[in-house]
Amino acid sequence: MVREFQAVLDGLPGKSPEPLEEYRELIGEMRRRGLTYREIAGVLADRFQVQADLGAVYDVLRAGARSSRPLPARRQVKAEAAPAPSQAPQPPKTRPAPQLRQAVQLRQVPRMREAPQPAHQAARTMSAALPQVRKVVEKPVFEYDENEPLRLTGDSRSIE
Amino acid sequence: MSTPQTVGGPAETIPATMPQKRVILTMGGKGGVGKTTFMISLAEWLGTQGMGFQMLDLDVENKARGSLKNYFEGAATKVNIHTPAGLDTFIDNLDQGPKIILADMGAGSGQVAHEWFDTMYEAAEEMGIAFTAIGVVTADPASVESVLIWAKALQHKVQYVVVLNQAVAHADFAYWNNTAQAEQFRRIFQPVILTMKYRLPDLENPSRQHGATLGDVATRRANVPELEKSSLVARAQGYQKQIFQELDKNRELFVV
């Protein structure tokens, strides 16, 4: 794209492409394995030098859940190395209350010594390792179909 | 602030955070079931516990007689939750003020509240904020449906209290007691069940009209002639004692 056009687009308000999009599959898998948003953000920081707050992690999952289409093809990784910090995806700009933002902001973490992997490789690599991170006690999910009327069962007369 | 965990490291458990602050909110939905009536009693009970709390009136559609602000002029803050920041007011108020918030959500607040919990709950939990959700049920099945809709959205993010409001003399809670959906809710969440006894219209109507709480009437502070009858004062004392006893028994859900 012509540089001037890109500059104009960059200056427009509105939603930029999801910076964590390429990590969506990995994030989804980590959630399924019971990691909290904070822990996921920690993994992203440790392994990919991606600084993301809890809301950004949540947003990428929600965007994935909303879409009934198959996951879009991941972006081509141009180099084997992960992006430099200056190129690393940034969290979305629309964050809530400043107090909270401060509270949930992740600390800067040191780089790992090993060479960072592309997200899709890392997803596979981490698959075996994740169960060691945390054991989750599954709580039963409450399901309710609001289109289904309440139907009385058994003895419908009852006095509290 | 906790340190991010690294994958493949030794198994670690994140210490459970003890609630340091609490938001007590009504589950909106069905209007006119007695949410504000219960919150008024809860506010008066908290007042007897020597614990600071703040009241937020988030019931934007209940502008006049029935709103929390009508009863606690100057003490209850009216908040419009239909803004981009929505319910961040919970966090901001807890950040700066008392450790307990009473939030009267009002009808029509479901969508906003559910989206807020989806986005912000985890962070709020990590800040030590616990949530108690109050559902008020009457004989009307719509009141039960409201609680179930909220529970479907909030799941285990809150502790549930269900108030059976005997809004009429012989209230029948069949839709609460005898439907598979409500039974599933009780089994999964094991809510605390409280009962709000039937209150005479002779007391209830003028109290609402003049913004007088049970405590005002019970202590003859209402300054309303029709509420100074000894029989009504005695009834107000009885109603208040009953609800206070129920709250005493479940104190841990309302304090920090």
Of A133, A148, A152, the CB nearest to B174: A152
Closest residue to B5, CB basis, from A42, A55, A94 = A42
Dist. CA B73–CA B70, nearest whole Å = 6
pLDDT at A101: 42
B152 contact residues in A (CB cutoff 8 A): 142-144, 146
Contact A146 B152 (CB under 8 A): yes
What residues in A contact B10, CB-CB < 8 Å?
A: 132
* Alpha-carbon gap: A114 to the closest alpha carbon of chain B (Å): 13
Which candidate in A15, A106, A151, A160 is best for mutational testing of the B interface (most B CBs within 10 A)?
A160
Give the whole-angstrom CA distance, residue B91 versus residue B94: 5
| Most confidently predicted of A109-118, B10-19, B50-59, B192-201 | B192-201
Nearest to B11 among A97, A132, A152 (CB): A132
**Preferred mutation among B178, B192, B196 to probe A, highest tally of A CBs within 10 A:** B178
Mean pLDDT of all residues belonging to chain B: 87
Which conformational region is residue B86 in: left (phi greater than 0), alpha (psi within -120 to 50 degrees), or beta? Answer: left
Q: Chain B residues with CB inside 8 Å of A130's CB?
A: 7
- How many whole angstroms separate alpha carbon B48 and alpha carbon B45? 5
Give the span between the Cα atoms of B1 and A34, in whole angstroms. 20
Cβ neighbours of B171 in A, within 8 Å: 160
| Chain B residues within 8 A of A149 when measuring between CB atoms | 141
Domain B21-253 homologous superfamily, CATH: P-loop containing nucleotide triphosphate hydrolases (3.40.50.300)
B116-134 average pLDDT score: 91
Quick check: helix, strand or coil at residue B223? coil
B48-85 pLDDT tens trace: 998 889 999 887 666 566 688 888 877 888 888 888 77
Question: For residue B242, what pLDDT is reported?
Answer: 96
Which residues of chain B does A159 touch, with a Cβ-Cβ cutoff of 8 Å?
170, 172-173
Closest residue of chain A to B184, computed from CA coordinates: A142
Interface test with B, best of A100, A109, A127 (most B CBs within 10 A): A100
Instruction: Sort A35 into a burial class: Cβ within 10 Å, 0-12 / 13-18 / 19+.
Output: buried
**Shortest CA distance from B175: residue in chain A:** A152
Q: Do B5 and A39 touch (CB under 8 A)?
A: yes
Cβ–Cβ pairs < 8 A, chains A and B: 149
* CA atoms of B2 and B18, how far apart (whole Å): 15
Gap from A4 CA to chain B (nearest CA, Å)? 32
Q: What's the length of chain A?
A: 160
State what percent of residues in chain B have pLDDT above 70.
90
* Closest residue to A54, CB basis, from B6, B122, B164: B122
The strand order across the sheet containing B100-104 reads B76-78, B53-57, B100-104, B21-26, B129-137, B159-165, B192-196
- For A60, which residue in chain B has the nearest alpha carbon? B119
Is residue B196 within 8 A of residue A153, CB to CB? The reply is: no
- Residue B81 makes CB contacts below 8 A (sequence gap 6+) with B58, B60, B87, B89, B105, B109, B112, B113
Report the C-alpha gap between B75 and B57 in whole angstroms: 10
Domain range summary for chain B, segments of one domain joined by +: 21-253
Alpha carbon of B233: minimum distance to chain A alpha carbons (Å): 26
Yes or no, beta carbons of A100 and B118 under 8 Å apart: no
In DSSP notation, B109-135 reads: -HHHHHHHHHHHHHHHHHTTEEEEEEE
Residues of B in contact with A43 (CB under 8 A): 4-7
| Cα gap B29→B247, rounded to integer Å | 23
**Is the pLDDT confidence value at A26 over 90?**
no
- Interface mutation vs chain A, best among B1, B7, B127, B145, most A CBs within 10 Å: B7
Segments making up each domain of chain A, as ranges: 19-69+79-118
Model pLDDT for residues A112-144, shown as the tens digit of each residue: 444 555 555 555 566 555 544 455 567 889 999
CB distance B148–A144 less than 8 Å?
yes
Q: What is the pLDDT of residues B131-189, one digit of tens each?
A: 999 999 999 999 999 999 999 999 999 999 999 999 888 889 999 999 999 999 999 99
Distance of alpha carbon B182 from alpha carbon B141, whole angstroms:
10
The Cα–Cα gap between A80 and B73 comes to 64
Q: Predicted confidence band at A67 (pLDDT cuts at 50, 70, 90)?
A: low
| Cβ separation A158–B173 shorter than 8 A | yes
Report the interhelical angle of B88-96 vs B110-126 (nearest 10°): 40
A82 Cβ neighbours under 8 A, 6+ residues apart: A48, A49, A88, A116, A117, A118
Give pLDDT tens digits for B109-119: 888 899 999 88
Where residue B207 falls among pLDDT bands split at 50, 70, 90?
very high
- What span, in angstroms and rounded, lies between the C-alpha atoms of A126 and B3? 19
Distance CA B113, CA B110 (A): 5
pTM: 0.65
Share of chain B above pLDDT 90, in %: 63
